[in-house]
């Protein structure tokens, strides 16, 4: 069932994004007076095909739903010649600025879609974990900043000064710290404690691209807290059962450390295999201490021996409803789209220079996986996923690689500056180089997909 969900979600996502991208080319081409011959969603053998009596455009849905194209009237692609009355409507006869507008319209449409989708999410509202910090691990940036656990983060600003930005949820905190860590900036977080609001200077300079590939928040020592951790079930014969832990117990502390987050609790247990730990639990309104020795078990994903007690946990974190007005939602939609776009470009630049790992590239398998996961989480998660992939598609197509929109834009910009079109010979050479580049990137992305699946 999960596999079917992933396939359906993937086809819907790619279909929507391709239609929007190609409709950008199509609509601007029509506005510029260019004759459009075909609008195809997908490649390969046509499954559905019809011709508009009004426009003469042939609309096609093809068998391979991994892209699409808009075919325009062009003398360079016509073997039988073009009637003289249609020559003014040929793409190659348009001014260089019209051609730039037509080619750029596809990626721009993807960015506009992302802005609309993010704006809808912000306006519709979303329930997210509150920006409350769990007790950080020792020797992390959060611990060195003075966080002890339970603080609610209110705002963030650069340590060098500048405007303070409100933090409304854990997701909001994560995005702002990601941006700061990418630029290796030091920031100041203002947080509310039990006795007032204080500033906590946080150094995020130690975060590397390898950390960003996983969860950089863990590296910084930030995990959502303030919640209640309850034992949902006990495995028969497990260390938890032998120690006297029971379903329904509320976990309050482990070896004297407050417990309000499943991740930090599990990490602590993993690191204490074969060593007794003391749990403070609440049962029937009373507090009790239970000593359990986690069993050493081999972790299939890491191949290392870790501690395990055999208890299923339910983590109920405090949440906030984040909702904005229409104008604020639009502003935030634009900002989020801009932030993700610039982050993607900078990450791609670092991959080219070797500063970032090529493992950051993802292919259709990973996209399908996340499409299915986001669809199962609900409409808001799937809409956010669509916006994210739409931005990725827009950024990818603007890269100055021949065969992509960005490559064609590069040709036209050279023509606009020099007054001369790039020669057919050079275009052919560059097209071949661009094709090699795209195939290489696709192979790396597919390799990364399968490497994630089989964990090697």
Catalytic residues: 22
Q: What are phi and psi of 203, to 5 degrees?
A: -95, 110
Contact assessment for residue 104 and residue 405, using Cβ atoms and an 8 Å cutoff:
yes
Q: What is the DSSP string of 337-388?
A: HHHHHHHHHHHHHHHHHTSS-GGG---HHHHHHHHHHHHHH-HHHHHHHHHH
Which burial class, exposed, middle or buried, applies to 246 when counting CB atoms under 10 A from its CB (0-12, 13-18, 19+)? middle
Helix (H/G/I), strand (E/B), else coil: 146: coil
Q: How far is CA 388 from CA 23, 144, 218, 339, 406, in A?
A: 19, 33, 23, 11, 19
282-286 long-range Cβ contacts below 8 angstroms, 24+ apart:
282/249, 282/250, 282/252, 283/246, 283/248, 283/249, 283/250
Q: List, in sequence order, every residue forming a beta bridge with 59; answer none if it has no partner.
A: 39, 50
Q: What is the DSSP string of 139-204?
A: TSHHHHHT--S-PEEEEEEETT----EE--SHHHHHHHHHHHHHTT-EEEEEEEETTEEEEEEEE-
Dist CA 286 CA 157 (whole Å): 43
Q: List, in sequence order, every residue forming a beta bridge with 197; answer none if it has no partner.
A: 192
Closest CA to 190 of 177, 203, 201: 201
Structure tokens at 401: 């690689």
Dist CA 278 CA 271 (whole Å): 14
Contact assessment for residue 219 and residue 144, using Cβ atoms and an 8 Å cutoff:
no
Dist CA 313 CA 235 (whole Å): 12
For tokens 């974190």, name the residue. 317
Dist CA 18 CA 439 (whole Å): 20
Dist CA 224 CA 131 (whole Å): 7
Task: Determine the straight-line distance between the first and last CA of the chain, rounded to whole angstroms.
Answer: 26
Contact assessment for residue 163 and residue 157, using Cβ atoms and an 8 Å cutoff:
yes
């Amino acid at each position: 069932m999960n596999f079917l969900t992933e396939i359906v979600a993937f086809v819907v996502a790619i279909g929507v994004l391709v239609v929007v991208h190609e409709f950008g080319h199509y609509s601007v081409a029509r506005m510029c007076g260019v004759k459009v011959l075909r609008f195809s969603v997908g490649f390969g053998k046509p499954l559905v095909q019809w011709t508009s009596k009004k426009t003469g455009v042939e609309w096609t849905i093809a068998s391979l739903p991994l892209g699409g194209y808009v075919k325009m009237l062009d003398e360079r692609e016509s073997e039988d010649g073009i009637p003289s009355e249609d020559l003014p409507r040929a793409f190659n006869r348009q001014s260089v600025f019209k051609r730039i507008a037509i080619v750029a319209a596809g990626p721009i449409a993807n960015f506009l879609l992302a802005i609309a989708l993010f704006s809808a999410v912000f306006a519709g509202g979303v329930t997210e974990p509150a920006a409350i910090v769990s007790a950080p691990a020792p020797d992390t940036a959060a611990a060195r900043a003075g966080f002890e656990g339970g603080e609610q983060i209110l705002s963030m600003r650069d340590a060098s000064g500048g405007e303070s930005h409100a933090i409304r949820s854990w997701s909001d905190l994560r995005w702002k710290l990601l941006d700061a860590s990418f630029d290796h900036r030091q920031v100041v977080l203002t947080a509310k404690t039990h006795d007032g609001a204080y500033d906590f200077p946080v150094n995020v300079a130690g975060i590397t691209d390898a950390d960003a590939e996983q969860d950089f928040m863990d590296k910084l020592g930030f995990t959502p807290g303030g919640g209640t951790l309850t034992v949902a079930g006990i495995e028969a014969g497990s260390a938890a059962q032998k120690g006297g832990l029971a379903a329904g117990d509320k976990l309050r502390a482990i070896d004297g450390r407050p417990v309000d987050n499943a991740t930090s609790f599990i990490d602590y247990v993993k690191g204490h295999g074969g060593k007794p730990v003391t749990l403070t639990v609440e049962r029937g309104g009373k507090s009790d201490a239970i000593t359990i020795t986690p069993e050493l078990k081999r972790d299939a994903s890491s191949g290392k021996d870790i501690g395990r007690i055999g208890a299923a946990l339910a983590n109920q974190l405090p949440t906030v409803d984040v909702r904005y007005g229409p104008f604020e939602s639009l502003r935030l939609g634009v900002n989020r789209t801009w932030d993700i776009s610039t982050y993607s470009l900078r990450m791609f630049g670092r991959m080219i220079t070797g500063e970032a790992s090529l493992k950051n590239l993802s292919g259709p398998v990973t996209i399908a996986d996340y499409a299915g996961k986001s669809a199962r989480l609900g409409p808001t998660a799937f809409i956010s996923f669509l916006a994210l992939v739409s931005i990725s598609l827009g950024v990818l197509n603007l890269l100055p690689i021949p065969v992509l929109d960005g490559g064609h834009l590069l040709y036209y910009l050279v023509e606009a500056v020099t007054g001369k079109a790039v020669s057919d010979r050079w275009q052919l050479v560059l097209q071949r180089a661009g094709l090699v580049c795209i195939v290489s990137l696709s192979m790396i992305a597919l390799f990364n997909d399968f490497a994630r699946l089989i964990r090697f």
